[in-house]
Amino acid sequence: MEMRKSKIAYLLFVIAIVVFLYFFLAVREGEPLLFDSIISSYLTNFFTESSYPFFKILNVMGSTIGTGIISLIVIGLLWAIKRDYAGMAVLAITISLGNLLNMWLKDYVGRPRPETEHLVNVKSLSFPSGHAMMGMILYMLIAYFIMNSVKSNGTKWIVVILAGIIILAMGISRIVLQVHYPSDVAAGLSLGFVWAYIWITIYEIVKGKLISR
């Protein structure tokens, strides 16, 4: 599967850019967003205290350390199974630079965290959500590499659905744990998709040139 040739992937890429820019500009205005109050109220009421341990596990998985460990495992598998050095390099670059981009945006926008009781410890600013952004990048790349390794369309759909569930749950966890506004999460997910799409496109171009040699 070549993502850069997929019309659906390109459409999602354009939509993701629009979504990110909308929330970026809205948050920069500094006015409260109705979107935030509606989504936060619904999710915090829907997911009760019994769900907190699960979301706290996702908090660890989406942390810098958790993302780093999972990335190293995937890089090791790309080397052991496929000797895919281009894939290893792109994964490492995408994750590391994506994390730096997220931190820069947090400092640039300067949005404080929600004024609620945080259920996990947080130190950085709020916009965009790092867990949502890095979760999208990491699991989108993992799904992409797996889909390129299997032939069954059924298996590919299963991979897409599982990756989507993990990414969505990661985003929801930030709202339920009361450490992010929904707009932080929406912006993080959309920017993560844009970032991963760009680097997957670069990977496909590099792989194409290497194969043609």
Of 70, 208, 190, 49, residue with least CA distance to 133: 190
- Who's near 191: CB < 8 A, 6+ residues apart? 16, 20, 101, 102, 105, 128, 133
Secondary structure letter of residue 112 according to DSSP: P
Q: Is 131 designated active site? A: yes
- Who's near 132: CB < 8 A, 6+ residues apart? 167, 170, 171, 174, 180, 184, 185, 186, 187, 188, 189, 192
Of 49, 35, 11, residue with least CA distance to 183: 35
Q: Is 118 designated active site? A: no
Structure tokens at 162: 């599982």
Structure tokens at 24: 């970026």
Give the active site residue among 106, 111, 174, 180: 180
Give the active site residue among 23, 62, 95, 131: 131
CA-CA distances (angstroms) from residue 34 to 3, 22, 41, 125, 128?
35, 14, 11, 21, 17
Q: Which positions are annotated as active-site residues?
A: 131, 180
